[in-house]
A and B are shown apart, each in its own frame.
Chain A
Amino acid sequence: MVFADLFFLFFFLPLCLLCYYHADRLRTRNIILIVFSLIFYAWGEPTWVILLVFSAFFNWFMGLQIGRFREERTGRILLAAALVVDLAFLLVFKYTGFFLETINGILRTSIPIPSIRLPIGISFFTFQAISYILDCYWETVEPQKKFYRFLVYLSFFPQLIAGPIVRYSVIEKELTKRKTTAVDMYEGAQRVIVGLAKKVILANNLYVIVDRFFGSGVNGMSMLGTWFVVIVYSMYVYFDFSGYSDMAIGMGRMFGFHFDENFNYPFMCQTIAEFWQRWHISLGSFFRDYLLYVPIFGKRRMYLSLFLVWFCTGMWHGASWNFILWGLYFGCFIFFEQKLGKKKIKAWPVWWKHIYSKLVIIIGFGIFYFENLRDLGRFFLNITGISMLTGSGGFADPITWAAFVNNIFLVIAALLFCFPLIPKCREWYVNNQDDAIFRIGKIGSMVLCLLLLVCSSIMLVDTTNNPFLYWRF
């Protein structure tokens, strides 16, 4: 099941909310969440729902044991075992094909590549489990004694299949005690609708442009055209993923959970380091807390750790070399910025920092898009203008110009919403002393949300299938 879908929005979710709030006791409510979450997962993965339940049981059990034997050597062994099992599942399901293909390519062998279907969300819930195990070992959290409560954490459908990667510590208390106020409902519901609109109104329609041009190969595209489409693609990825995170956070709020933010207007960044503090925050902080600061290569070779982290960040996004290249590409810029030092960078003019960071990010998304390395090469030839010299694609072309004009308001709206317009508006009426303004603000924003909900729903009629970009995870 996907969020941006009529069946989910107007059947599953209302039903779940009704059942949930019909129950009085938290225990019943937790069980209702488990039931609906497992149905949600089984809906898309009728076989591998077993894997989810097994992973939950295994990690819950190991968490308890690690808690018991933390001080002793057994604790370390159990930790290693848990991590190995968790990672093994992820590696086998997600990367077997990739490993074998790479080996075949390098050693010129032809090992048959089994076609393994990737269980949805495995990257997310595996990382959540790993964070829990490590937190238990490092005493950041108290191991959960009741299995069903841990299952709520791991299987909770808003964040199950596409994040954010919610740390156990964030919702530990809310597992046993939570209350949803009217404000929670209001803001949660609005968040869901805003996320939905980002996905359905902005992202899906931006993708039409991307697919039309990049989808049939970038050969023959003009330089301006290629720039236009890759910028649109960058915005598409942002709205698609952050829209989904918004819906996850909003839904969590509607059930009384408070998740951490996953996106913080990443295009407002001035440096690449800052970009990664604003983009897919839960992933960046996962690698930072659980991998970067673990001195695998020793304290003096921190830069190796850095590149390992970026290698993994890239690889997490997809079992393909262009994703790893993408991760290392950013790793290089992070390394470069670290070497340069904060002082020097602070001295750069702001306008230059913005241009620099946007160029790096946009070109980065080009690497992200083209899994076929030949197409990626052509992409670079196009954006640098070299392809103009060879005659395959000029500076501009009427088709991309038409696409731009046909979608100009969409593109402008997308650009605008890359900025924190919504928080600024909210700030204005929330902090305003005048109650009338506050009223207008609150009512107005709900009216807008209703409009967005209706428009998004109408647009959803047109798509019978609407998967999320990060679906492969």
Chain B
Amino acid sequence: MQENSNQTEMSREERRRLRKERQEKRRRRLDLRLSRRLVSALFLVWILISVFLLVFPRSKVSNIEKRELTKFPAFSVGAWFSGEFTDGVMTWYTDTVPFRDVFKNANNNLKSLFGISSGTTAEVIGNVKKVSDGSSEEGKSEETASAAKKDGGEDTAAASSAVSSSAESAPEASAADASAASAQEEEEETRDYHQEDAEGTFENGFVIVNLDGHWRGLPLFAGGECENYITFMNDLHDQLGDTVKIYSMPIPLASEYYLPANYSEYSVPQKACFEKVWAQLDEGIIPVDVTDTLDRHKEEEIYLRTDHHWTALGAYYSAEKLAEAAGVPFASLDSYNRQSVDGYVGSLYGYTQSSNLLNDPETFVWYEPVPAVEADHYDTSFNYQYTDGLIMETDVPNSYLRFMGTDDQIVKVRTSVKNGRKLLMLKDSYGNAEIPFLTGSFEEIYVVDQRYFTRNLPEFIRQLGITDFVFSCDSDTVANQVVTSLDQLMTQDAGSAVIDDAPAQNAGTAEDMGKEEAV
């Protein structure tokens, strides 16, 4: 009996062991079979992606970043040994991925899954620092230090600080010929992104808040001593005396009105900054304070939500203040032809990469003067290029360019007003939006961008018989946050005669002249 039970036990153990072995063998075979199939599927996907990247046409331009994408590097022995060529190939390969903007948007949407930004908690982008008494505590941001320290991957902070260095100019400059181009429906060869010229910075980062259900991007103001601005204005006043009325018209950024109280320590109050500046300007210079009027209208759409600019409406209220100070007539809003397009997502999306902005487009509104007004366009040395309507045709993403187009030009607007008043507006991109609303106030308006002008400013003003000069620009320009070429405007190209070589009025439009001259 014992023997029998022993034998049964043995065989039970044997059987168990054999069964286990069989199971393991089966499992191994299954493992191998599954592995083979799954690896094939994986490699199929991998190869498809590789082929896609190789075969499909490369992207040339990013509309989001408003820049031309990297070109394939030129090969030379020097470039090979310096590593420039190989780095360039890798950069080019990633930068010009087919359908790049589609993937960038997908990337930003994926990143929105990382956390919560809701009505109560803003999204904070970039190196946001505490400010005090009009200047940020840390002074210049140490992005170069951190880049040297750890070659961290290109991240939002670095990207926004680096990209923000082309803040002011890039949108305008980058779409330099885009408005002209889009009229012809030709994109590529006319683009000329003046990235190397632009040095504006949003040094103090951004806060993206949800107000009343919509997302608004707010560049923060880092403040500054504004010496260049003050010196420039006083110098100009010295040179021109009281023959020309000089107006100082700084424009606040949206953070002045919309920044939530708990972030107030991170943006310098702009009205107070302007008042400090005005206190240091010569007696004869007329300050034009638009901060109160904008404050009164802040429940209206006076600033773009997804762009760093204001809206046409905000520009209208401000232009009204200028007309008041100048004692010239001013056409009310209802005398203009209101136009709009939907689906506008502006420059702040490109800087901040916030999918909140991407997915919350706004309606871009502009007002066309009635009857339509013409503008003569000159290059930065005042050589006539072509004549076009004041309000330009653009695609939706570049809507802010509807106001006369790019910044790297001089524009002369001829109106039907006959009061002998000639205005020269020195501006950054904020000024562009005001011009349409001054067409009922001045006989001639010259529009000069402070970054793109090669002539001597006081002589230019004198020789053209300008009666009113206004410097209309945003807080960052006032506080020296952008390229400071103001003193150059006073000294460069002295002694040359200013000749307006535009053909007589009604001479022709851009189509007649041929756009090739313009580009």
CB <8 Å contact, A216 and B42: no
| Residues of chain B at interface, number, CB under 8 A | 78
Stretch at the interface among B121-129, B358-366, B420-428, B468-476: B121-129
B149 contacts A464, C-beta separation under 8 Å: no
Q: A449-467, CB under 8 A of B: which get 1 and which 0?
A: 1100101011111111111
- In the complex, which of the residues B41, B49, B100, B138 has the most CB atoms of chain A within 10 Å of its own CB atom? B49
B262 with A398: CB separation less than 8 A: yes
Residues of A within 8 A of B31 (CB): 183, 438, 442
User: B81: CB under 8 A from chain A?
Assistant: yes
Q: Is B114 a contact partner of A459 (Cβ separation < 8 A)?
A: no
Query: By the criterion CB–CB under 8 Å, are B30 and A189 in contact?
Result: no
B154 touches A463 (CB 8 A): yes
| A189 nearest CB neighbor, chain B only | B42
The answer to the question of B519 belonging to the interface, with a C-beta cut-off of 8 Å to chain A, is: no
CA distance A222 to B266 in the complex (A): 14
- Can you list, as one digit per residue, whether each of B93-129 has a CB less than 8 Å from chain A (1) or not (0)? 1110100100110110011011111000111101111
Q: Is the CB of B137 within 8 A of A219?
A: yes
Chain A residues, CB < 8 A from B35: 181-183, 185-187, 442
Query: B83 in the interface, Cβ–Cβ < 8 Å?
Result: yes
Residue of A nearest to B144 (CB): A215
> CA A10 – CA B35 in complex, angstroms?
22
Bound Cα distance from A467 to B90, whole angstroms: 12
Identify which of residues 246-272 in chain B touch chain A, using a CB-to-CB cut-off of 8 Å: 262-263, 266
Binds B, one of A41-49, A97-105, A261-269: A41-49
Closest-by-CB residue of A relative to B261 is: A398
B143 in the interface (beta carbon within 8 A): yes
The stretch among B155-163, B291-299, B317-325, B368-376 that forms the contact with chain A is B155-163
Q: Quick check: B151 and A467 within 8 Å, CB to CB?
A: yes
Q: Are B103 and A464 in contact (CB under 8 A)?
A: no
Choose from B43, B91, B107 the contact partner of A461 (Cβ within 8 Å). B107
**Chain A residues positioned under 8 Å from B23 (CB to CB):** 433
Chain A residues with Cβ below 8 Å from B49 are 10, 457
Query: Could you give, for residues 5-30 of chain A, a 1 whenever the CB lies within 8 Å of some chain B CB and a 0 otherwise?
Result: 11110110010000000000000000
CB contacts under 8 Å to B, within A368-413, are 369, 371-372, 398-399, 401-411
Q: Quote the shortest CB–CB distance from B23 to chain A (angstroms).
A: 7
A64 within 8 A of B: no
Query: Could you mark each residue 39-53 of chain B with 1 if its beta carbon is under 8 Å from any beta carbon of chain A, else 0?
Result: 101110111011001
Closest residue of chain B to A1 (Cβ to Cβ) is B90
What distance in Å separates the Cβ of B222 from its nearest Cβ neighbour in chain A? 12
User: Is A7 touching B38 in the complex (CB atoms < 8 A)?
Assistant: no
Per the bound structure, the CA–CA distance linking A404 and B129 in Å amounts to 16
Q: Let me know if B115 and A450 touch, CB within 8 A.
A: no
Tell whether, in the assembled complex, residue A182 and residue B39 are in contact, meaning their CB atoms are under 8 Å apart.
yes
- B462 beta carbon closer than 8 Å to chain A: no
Binds B, one of A154-162, A205-213, A275-283, A285-293: A205-213
Q: Are B34 and A442 in contact (CB under 8 A)?
A: yes
A75 at interface by CB-CB < 8 Å: no
For the side of the interface on A, what is the size category?
A: 35 or more
A118 to chain B, nearest CB (A): 12
Cβ of A403 to closest chain B Cβ, rounded Å? 6
A85: CB under 8 A from chain B?
Answer: no
B contact residues around A214 at 8 Å (CB): 146
Contact (Cβ within 8 A) B47 A14: yes
Q: Evaluate contact between B86 and A403: CB separation under 8 angstroms.
A: no
Is B80 interfacial (CB-CB < 8 Å)?
A: yes
Enumerate chain B residues within 8 angstroms of A284, measured Cβ to Cβ: none
Min CB–CB distance A170 → chain B (angstroms): 24
Once the chains bind, are B114 and A407 in contact (CB under 8 Å)?
A: yes
Which A residues lie within 8 Å of B157 (CB)? 208, 211-212, 215
Q: Given A402-B122, A461-B104, are A371 and B149 neighbors across the interface (CB < 8 Å)?
A: yes
Chain A residues with Cβ below 8 Å from B152 are 204, 207, 210-211, 467, 469
- A216/B86 in contact, CB under 8 A: no
The answer to whether the Cβ of A217 comes within 8 Å of any Cβ in the partner chain is: yes
Tell me whether B153 is interfacial, beta carbon within 8 Å: yes
A-chain residues with CB within 8 Å of residue B32 when the two chains form the complex: 181-183
Closest A-chain residue to B124, C-beta based?
A402
Chain A positions 404-441 with a Cβ under 8 Å from a chain B Cβ:
404-411, 433, 435, 438-439
Identify the closest chain B residue to A39 (Cβ): B86
User: B89 an interface residue at 8 Å Cβ cutoff?
Assistant: yes
Residues of A within 8 A of B91 (CB): 464-465
The answer on a CB contact under 8 Å between B126 and A465 is: no
Sample of 14 further A-B pairs with CB below 8 A, known A183-B31, A405-B116, A453-B42: A11-B93, A44-B83, A44-B86, A208-B156, A216-B138, A216-B142, A216-B146, A220-B130, A438-B27, A453-B46, A464-B95, A466-B153, A467-B153, A469-B152
Question: Can you list 27 A-B contacts (CB < 8 A)?
Answer: A11-B50, A11-B54, A14-B46, A14-B50, A183-B32, A185-B35, A189-B42, A207-B155, A210-B152, A212-B128, A215-B146, A216-B138, A216-B143, A402-B117, A403-B124, A405-B117, A406-B117, A408-B115, A442-B35, A446-B42, A453-B46, A458-B106, A458-B107, A458-B110, A463-B153, A463-B155, A464-B95
Q: Hey, which bits of chain A sit against chain B, CB under 8 A?
A: 1, 4-8, 10-11, 14, 43-47, 181-183, 185-187, 189, 203-205, 207-208, 210-212, 214-217, 219-220, 369, 371-372, 398-399, 401-411, 433, 435, 438-439, 442-443, 446, 449-450, 453, 455, 457-467, 469, 471
Interface residues of B (CB under 8 A from A): 23, 26-27, 30-32, 34-36, 38-39, 41-43, 45-47, 49-50, 53-54, 70, 80-83, 86-87, 89-91, 93-95, 97, 100, 103-104, 106-107, 110-111, 113-117, 121-124, 126-130, 137-138, 141-143, 145-146, 149-158, 207, 262-263, 266, 353
Give 6 closest A-B pairs by Cβ, nearest first.
A215-B146, A208-B155, A410-B114, A186-B35, A182-B35, A212-B157
